[in-house]
Amino acid sequence: MRILIQRVKKASVTIDNTIKGEIGKGLLIFVGIEDSDNQEDIEWLCNKAINLRIFDDEKGIMNLPITDIDGEILVISQFTLHASTKKGNRPSYIRASKPDIAIPLYNEFCDNLQKLLNKQVQTGIFGADMQVELINDGPVTIWIDSKNKE
């Protein structure tokens, strides 16, 4: 499982010209799922995201997790995080899970984040054509892959 985290001042996701989810200061998290992902990957990544100390403290140093700033989270499914670009110029998405595997894992990821954050997590709709708007704060963008824990 891969996540791409962006520290944002605000973010939203629009589907069919309707805003489905929006947040203020917090984390925009894109999630890519592959067939070998499981509950352990979900728990590890959720804990990592919730505890990342990437928000400024009173001295302007990135030292606080999202829970310390009462931030919000928007989660977007994104199979393209598993793109392979080794051969040719057209990315291959062979490692990305099909919906029957990915949707339950995506939902569990969102539920787990919500429990750790202790507030509603905003989401898009899995597999939908989504337009995501954000103001990246910093910019701060962090890539985490549960298969590279060490």
Report the catalytic residues. Answer: 80
Burial 81-90 (b: 16+ CB within 10 A, else e): bbeeeeeeee
Q: What are phi and psi of 88, to 5 degrees?
A: 70, -165
Q: Among all chains, which residue has been given the structure tokens 């670009």?
A: 85
**Of the candidates 73, 56, 74, 75, which has an alpha carbon nearest to the alpha carbon of residue 65?**
56
